[in-house]
Homo-oligomer: A and B are copies of this chain.
Amino acid sequence: MKSLLLVAHGSRRMASNDEVRELAYRLEAHTNGTYGRVDCAFLELAEPSIPDGLRQAIHAGARAVVVVPYFLSAGRHVVTDIPDVVDVVRAEYPDVNITLASYLGASAGIVELLAGLAEQD
């Protein structure tokens, strides 16, 4: 079973964390069975943590997990912090294929979404 883990920064504002949880549900619906699970996890300030999110997916049977960073820029969190915590869980489960996708801000399609937002206005 392959699973997808959407990882966000996490916020003191609960509604922002709930926006991410809601997005994970929508992503699960959109991918329509491609992934056995679509979950979210947070770098800080909210639960589950990224290691716990990975472990939960693995304990539920995932043999591959793709981690997708819900971040806009390639700052320290994307370049260092997320890879580091992913490596911790990779070392615990060497038989599970944990891969790290590009962060959202690197997606070429961002431009179209921004143009769409401006036009709707």
Residues of A at the B interface (CB closer than 8 Å) are 4, 6, 8, 11, 13, 15-16, 19-20, 23, 26-27, 30-31, 34-35, 66, 68, 70-76, 99-107, 109-121
Stoichiometry, copies per complex: 2
A101-B120 in contact (CB<8A): yes
Establish whether residues B101 and A117, one from each chain, have CB atoms under 8 Å apart when the complex forms: yes
Q: Residue A107 contacts which of B31, B100, B103, B117 (CB distance < 8 angstroms)?
A: B117
> Given A13-B75, A74-B16, do A30 and B115 touch, yes or no (CB 8 Å)?
yes
The residues of B that contact A118 with a CB separation of less than 8 Å are 4, 31, 35, 66, 68, 101
Q: Which residues of B contact A6 (CB under 8 A)?
A: 114
